[in-house]
Structure 1
Amino acid sequence: MSSSLRRGALAAAAIAFSIASLAACGAGNNAQTLEIKPDNAATTVGVIKVQNALVITQPDAQSTGPAVISATLFNSGTSAQTLDAITVAGVSGPAELSPAKGKGKLTVPAGGSLVLGGEGNASAVLSGSREGLKDGAAQKVTFSFSKTGDVSLQAFIVPAKSYFEKWGPTELPSTPAETSPSPTGSESATGSATPSGEATASVSASESAAH
């Protein structure tokens, strides 16, 4: 085989391998979960795998609105587990967990997954976007499960901009400043009339006594 044909065969093999790899990724369980870059935090403890974990803050660095935790949770076990809490190092309280619909605990089904963050998915909300969170840093996030227990990893803190905008918190509307009520006419009249009347009566009495 000539060198040119050999180079062509190697190139074709490389392209075929790339296409096969992409197809395999697209067919996996996590192909359409978060669509977040694959180099984000991930870890596995027992039957639980946490993938694509992020803490997403407000897009405005001056905002004190809520932050959210985004992740995909996988359960390869034979029984369902509930996600009981999520805590972030440096943040005083745990995240507020809510299912995609209705109320109740978040459940990771046996052999299935649970997506946190994004429209139509379960949510994990931290009350403040700036309390103990620094954009660009990596902080310890702990997911507490009913059977596996605590699963911790270092997750990046990113603002809800560009790629992460659709996974981030909803911006809070600004609250208009309250204006102080001005004193009414009756208050002004009452406040000045009484002292004035008392002063006049006192002066008249003094003048009469002098005469």
Structure 2
Amino acid sequence: MSRSLRRGALAATAIVISIASLSACGAGNDAQTLGVRPDNAAVTVEDVKIQNALVITQPTTGAPGPAVVSATVFNNGSAPQTLDSITLGGSPAPVVLKAATGSGPITIPAGGSVVIGGKGNASATIENGHEAVKDGNGQELVFKLSRTGDVSLAAFVVPATGYFAAYGPTEIPQPPAAKPTATASPTGDAGHGGEATPTGTATPTGTATPTGTATPTGGASSSTGH
């Protein structure tokens, strides 16, 4: 075996070992890596390097809503490449790609890079992310590029909290607002703990009219003769 072939074989073996270790260390909902910033996945194939790859879910574990893929894709070649798709190993859940500006594909310029995830950057959204991935696991991601082809690696699945909040899903479903309940009106008098509500206004049916002039029956009478 030539020296160059041996170097290639050793590099490929190192990549396989690092991916296997990542999957094993990240397994389980209670993985310790959820509490710290993990050593994010990275891989290089030909002119393409992908680093800081993560799957970021909703802030609350198991909450409905989309998840996202976050990564930086480098193109060290002399020609631009487009990112045609990202797929999840073992899951049919689609990943919707969107460029940072416009409606075209995500293009990685020659000698440049593209950040996926975060405000103002390209995005890769996994619909129904809570069903497709689980926090604490290592998730296989396959990036398909126009010239290099498939580039795969295993990435940690983490919730959008702490450091990862800025790169997580922009769509955070809000819990439904509580419906207001009717307020009971008191039907009795104030003596039962509430203020009595009058049910009507008394209306007088007539005005009393005097029928005569009262005449005093005793006492001094005035005299006109003095």
Q: 2 CA distance for matches of 1:89 and 1:168?
A: 20
Question: Is the alpha carbon distance of 1:38 and 1:80 closer, same or farther for their aligned partners in structure 2, counting shifts above 3 Å?
Answer: farther
1:177 to partner: Cα distance? 8.9
Residue 84 of structure 1 corresponds to: 84
1:182 counterpart residue number: none
Shift of 1:174: 3.7
Partner residue in 1 for 2:47? 47
SS of residue matched to 2:132: coil
Larger Rg: 2
Distance 1:139 1:38 in 2: 14
Q: In the alignment, which residue of structure 2 is the partner of 1:14?
A: none
Q: Is the 8 A contact 1:63 1:129 kept in 2?
A: no
Pair 1:177–1:91, CA change in 2 (3 A): farther
Three-state SS of the structure 2 residue aligned to 1:114 is strand
Unaligned runs of 5+ in 1: 1-36, 179-211
Q: TM-score, normalised by structure 2?
A: 0.60
Q: Which runs of 4+ in 1 moved over 6 A?
A: none
- Conserved in 2, the CA contact under 8 Å of 1:85 and 1:94? no
Corresponding position: 1:101 with 2:101: yes
**For the structure 1 residues 107 and 59, does the alpha-carbon distance in structure 2 shift closer, same or farther, using more than 3 Å as the test?**
same
Query: 1:15-54 to 2 correspondence within 5 Å?
Result: 39-54=39-54
Residue 163 of structure 2 aligns to a residue in which SS? Answer: helix
State the distance in 2 between where 1:38 and 1:157 align: 10
Match of 1:141 in 2: 141
Determine helix, strand or coil for the equivalent of 2:165: helix
Whole-Å separation in 1 of the counterparts to 2:122 and 2:132? 23
Please tell me the residue identity of whatever aligns with 1:141.
Answer: L
TM-score by length of 1: 0.64
Partner of 1:172: 173
* Structure 2 stretches lacking a partner, 5+ long: 1-36, 180-226
Alignment deviations for residues 15-55 of structure 1 (CA, whole Å, 9 cap, x no partner): xxxxxxxxxxxxxxxxxxxxxx6820000000000000000
Contact 2:78-2:110 within 8 A present in 1 as well = yes
Q: What do you get for the CA RMSD once the two structures are aligned?
A: 2.0
Q: SS state of the match for residue 130, structure 1?
A: helix
Percent identity over the alignment is 54
* Bigger share in helix: 1
